[in-house]
């Protein structure tokens, strides 16, 4: 769920997003540790009146500060490579949804039917701008997806480059004309999750919201067929 003036990430609703948050924390620990180490020694050099002539030409110290960053990079790269594999691998999706980006709305195609998703930015909705939390995030249709099911999104565009992004699910894929991109996700909790086009696609770029409604399987079947 997004909040006003939020500086951190949204709450995770997929295993991939949980891993992304863990990798972020992992990387920040390494970065802050390096920063604290360097600040300590810079302050020590500035305010200390001692002079160690052995540090002027010390080959061992030069070897250490050359090799140590290599180990730190490997320490960061290993979980990153694992996460990239989890994000790109397709684990037998239960069904697929085709997503097409247009100027300026999204269209979705299930196996049985299709729907378009436009933002609500008419005069009535503009009057609600200061009262409605979902201003410019609320489309006229929701993309319904069942909970605890592996879903594959096939994403492309018919005009310019768009980007289909939902932070809570940990998905962000470019919609490129003439190319079909794929992304998979597995939702853990029901609810409505908002996103938006993350590519500068034109004058109405801000009017391309994404809203995904995660439903239990029985509710999803009722929504689809009834």
Tens-place pLDDT, residues 131-161: 455 566 777 778 888 888 888 889 999 889 9
**Mean pLDDT across the stretch 115-141?**
55
Length of the chain in terms of residues written: 226
Clarify whether residues 208 and 108 are in a common domain.
yes
Range of the domain at 63: 15-88
Query: Quick check: is 55 in a domain?
Result: yes
Q: What's the pTM?
A: 0.75
| pLDDT beyond 90 at 45 | no
Kindly report whether the peptide bond that precedes residue 103 is cis, defined as omega within 30 degrees of 0.
no
What's the longest Cα–Cα distance across the chain? Answer: 82
Query: How far is CA 162 from its chain centroid?
Result: 15
Range in 101-115, 127-141, 163-177 the model is least confident about: 127-141
Residue where a domain stops, chosen among 39, 71, 88: 88
Clarify whether residues 48 and 125 are in a common domain.
no
SS3 at position 214: strand
Query: Quick check: is 2 in a domain?
Result: no
Q: Number of folded domains in the chain?
A: 2
Clarify whether residues 76 and 102 are in a common domain.
no
Clarify whether residues 61 and 154 are in a common domain.
no
Give 122's DSSP letter.
S
Residue 188 contacts by C-beta under 8 Å, 6 or more apart in sequence? Answer: 12, 13, 14, 15, 147, 148
SS3 at position 174: strand
Q: Which residue's entry shows tokens 């439903």?
A: 215
Structure tokens at 165: 């992004």
């Amino acid at each position: 769920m997004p909040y006003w003036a939020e500086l951190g990430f949204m709450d995770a609703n997929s295993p991939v997003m949980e891993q992304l948050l863990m990798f972020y924390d992992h990387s920040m620990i390494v970065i802050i540790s390096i920063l604290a180490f360097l600040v300590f020694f810079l302050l020590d050099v500035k305010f200390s009146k001692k002079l160690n002539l052995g540090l002027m030409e010390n080959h061992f110290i030069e070897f250490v500060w050359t090799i140590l960053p290599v180990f730190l990079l490997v320490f960061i790269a290993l979980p990153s490579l694992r996460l990239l594999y989890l994000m790109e691998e397709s684990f037998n999706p239960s069904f697929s949804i085709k997503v097409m980006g247009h100027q300026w709305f999204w269209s979705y195609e299930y196996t049985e039917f299709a729907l378009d998703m436009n933002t609500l930015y008419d005069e009535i909705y503009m009057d609600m701008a200061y009262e409605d939390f979902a201003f410019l995030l609320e489309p006229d249709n929701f993309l319904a997806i069942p909970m605890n099911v592996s879903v594959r999104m096939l994403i492309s565009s018919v005009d310019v480059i768009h980007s289909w992004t939902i932070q809570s699910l940990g998905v962000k894929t470019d919609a490129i004309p003439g190319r079909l991109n794929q992304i998979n996700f597995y939702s853990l909790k029901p609810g409505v999750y908002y996103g938006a086009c993350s590519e500068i696609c034109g004058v109405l770029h801000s009017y391309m919201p994404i809203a995904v409604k995660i439903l239990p399987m029985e509710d999803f079947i009722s929504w689809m067929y009834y």
